[in-house]
Amino acid sequence: MANAKTKQPSMLEGAPWRSILVFAIPIFFGSILQQLYHTVDTMMVGRLISQSALSSVGTCGVLTNLCLAFSTGFSVGTGVISGQLYGAGRQEDLRKNAYASIRFLLLLGLGICLLGFTLRRPLLRYIVSVPAELLEGSVTYFGIIVFGFLFQFIYNAAAALLRSVGDSKASLYFLTISSVTNIILDYVFLAWFDWGIAGAAWATVASQAAACLASYVYMQKKYDFFRFAGHSIKVTAEDYRLLLKTGFPIALQSMIGNVFNLMVQRLVNSFGAAMTASYTVVGRFEGYMHLPTNTINQALATYTAQNIGADQPERVQKGLAHALIMTVSITGTLALLAYIFAPQIATFFGIDGTSAAYCMTHIRTMTFGFLLFSAYFPCMGLYQGAGKGMVTTKISTAFLAVCLTIAYGLQYIPAIGYRSIFICKPLAWLIIAPCNYIYFFKGKWKEGKLV
């Protein structure tokens, strides 16, 4: 499927667990790197500028994630198409899909850049409800980083295309380049040039541009089927229709998730500053707890796409079984440790008193939920790889609806009150997991071949 120099280890043969694990490891370390980078970046903004600057930057997070949801969704969609084409050995169609995807995301990114820049003030003021004292800083920051979206869109497309052919290591290289660039420029722009919030924003844009350039050059240099120069590529309306069909449901899922986060945050804030601080810590800790499951989920999506393309649905089922063994065993071990060391986790993040008590209870309540999540979420990767993106959107939307209903509804029961925030996710996962497996055992996902 590729020349000898660029051939990746096949996901179409050998032990499924090995194929999935080897692919997932670089994604896992890339995710860890991203988490650490965001932590360092946050610290530098807070220490080198001010606490209010940190708050201004933080308020842009929801809006930024909403804008990037389009990129996430359509890049995953193009990865599914490319994975199935790669599994089927159709190199010329693989090249055409890559060309169409990059061009589509380039135009989409440009449109969102211009729209975000033009509407940045009303969006931040009326949609995000940024406090008046933080508004100017938020407008400055978002007005600059919005131009980085264009680079992020292209990078996401390139990274998804590379993962679709089994190259997950490349993303780790690009994330390393991006992280190092951002940290260095953060220090230069903030400590030396004293550019303030604008400096932090330009450092982010520069790091995104570096990752974008590196990923595009890499895929062009290393893979013949991703080279466009010298080839006559004719993209049709059907190619773009397929991109929309696979990418839009996942983009919609991501946008709904961000709206959910906004609504839950409003409920959390209603219980006071102590609960807000506790929820922030639990949110960060939850991100680390989900890393093993999320990375194996991403690996399973590529594994499924390639094997569906090669007409091997039975191998996909074996892959899911192996993935579940890995996610449940790893997460189960981590959940047990989280339950035991919950007090230490709370104090590690620098909170105490009522916040620490909330945090400890919340983490211990979530440990069972982490296990439930690891037992059903890999199916989402399978459905995405099989071309059933709308199924993942429906399941995720159902989970979010149940979760919000529990959180907002049970708060009025005196014996539960604020604890509805602690139990909403575990209970929602408990309800949705069986629904997920009902769909899986019906076998309709086997009919999702796109190419």
pLDDT, tens digit, 9 for 90 and up, residues 343-382: 988 887 666 788 889 989 999 999 999 999 999 899 999 9
Measured in residues, the chain has a length of 451
Spell out the domain ranges in the chain.
21-259, 273-447
pLDDT of res. 263: 81
Q: Are 175 and 30 in contact (CB under 8 A)?
A: yes
Confidence of residue 1 (pLDDT cuts 50, 70, 90): very low
Confidence of residue 9 (pLDDT cuts 50, 70, 90): low
Q: Are 372 and 332 in contact (CB under 8 A)?
A: no
Q: What percent of the chain has pLDDT over 90?
A: 42
Kindly tell me if the per-residue pLDDT of 86 is higher than 80: yes
| Residue type, position 244, single letter | L
Return the exposure string of 155-185: e unless at least 16 CB atoms fall within 10 Å of the residue's CB, then b.
bbbbbbbbbbbbbbbbbbebbbbbbebbbeb
**Position with higher pLDDT, 438 vs 44:** 438
Q: How far apart are the first and last CA of the chain?
A: 16
Confidence of residue 57 (pLDDT cuts 50, 70, 90): confident
Q: Are 196 and 190 in contact (CB under 8 A)?
A: yes
Q: Are 56 and 361 in contact (CB under 8 A)?
A: no
* pLDDT mean over 54-59: 72
The CA distance from 370 to 381, in Å, is 17
Kindly tell me if the per-residue pLDDT of 186 is higher than 70: yes
Surface-to-core class of residue 227, CB atoms within 10 Å of its CB (0-12 exposed, 13-18 middle, 19+ buried): middle
Half-sphere exposure of 349 (CA within 13 A, CB side): 22
Kindly tell me if the per-residue pLDDT of 274 is higher than 70: yes
pLDDT of res. 349: 66
Q: Are 299 and 383 in contact (CB under 8 A)?
A: no
Chain-centroid distance of CA 395 in Å reads 17
**Position with higher pLDDT, 8 vs 169:** 169
Per-residue tokens: 404 = 């919000």
Kindly tell me if the per-residue pLDDT of 181 is higher than 70: yes
**Position with higher pLDDT, 417 vs 63:** 417
pLDDT of res. 51: 63
For tokens 């999935």, what's the residue? 20
pLDDT of res. 5: 44
The CA distance from 440 to 379, in Å, is 8
* pLDDT mean over 112-123: 93
